Amino acid sequence: QVQLQQSGAELVKPGSSVKISCKASGYTFTSYDMHWIKQQPGNGLEWIGWIYPGNGNTKYNQKFNGKTTLTADKSSSTAYMQLSSLTSEDSAVYFCARGTAYWGQGTLVTVSS
């Protein structure tokens, strides 16, 4: 069955970067887009972008241009999202999702000094 296992919670300092992972199993990793979605505490959902692991193509929500970098490692079936120049506004739960139907459990990123 399709599973997306995300990395654990991160506590990071303002101005730093963080890279979170999403390990896929149960399907052909290179054949489906992997999307990333942000959810701030008590808030709704924001689509960040997607990566197609088959060829590395990406599409970003312009709002997150310069903030996020999506990559994928075909050898380990793992997608990554790097967030840079972190501020308190980046504190959120981040989900990876294959299409609309399969979601990871979420990774909490807390930006605090």
> Which residues lie near another protein (CB under 8 A)?
37, 44-47, 59, 61-63, 95, 100-101, 103-106
Question: Least separation, in Å, of the C-beta of 40 and another protein?
Answer: 12
Question: Least separation, in Å, of the C-beta of 70 and another protein?
Answer: 14
How does DSSP assign 16-27, residue by residue?
Answer: --EEEEEEEESS
| Pick 80 or 102: Cβ nearer another protein | 102
Question: Least separation, in Å, of the C-beta of 41 and another protein?
Answer: 12
Label the pairing between strands 10-12 and 107-111: parallel
Whose structure tokens read 């929500």? 61
| Pick 5 or 16: Cβ nearer another protein | 5
Q: Where are the beta strands (DSSP E) in the chain?
A: 3-6, 10-12, 18-25, 34-39, 45-52, 57-60, 68-73, 78-83, 92-98, 102-103, 107-111
| Pick 16 or 25: Cβ nearer another protein | 25
Output the CA torsion sign for 1, 104, 18, 109: negative
| Pick 14 or 26: Cβ nearer another protein | 26
Question: Least separation, in Å, of the C-beta of 107 and another protein?
Answer: 11
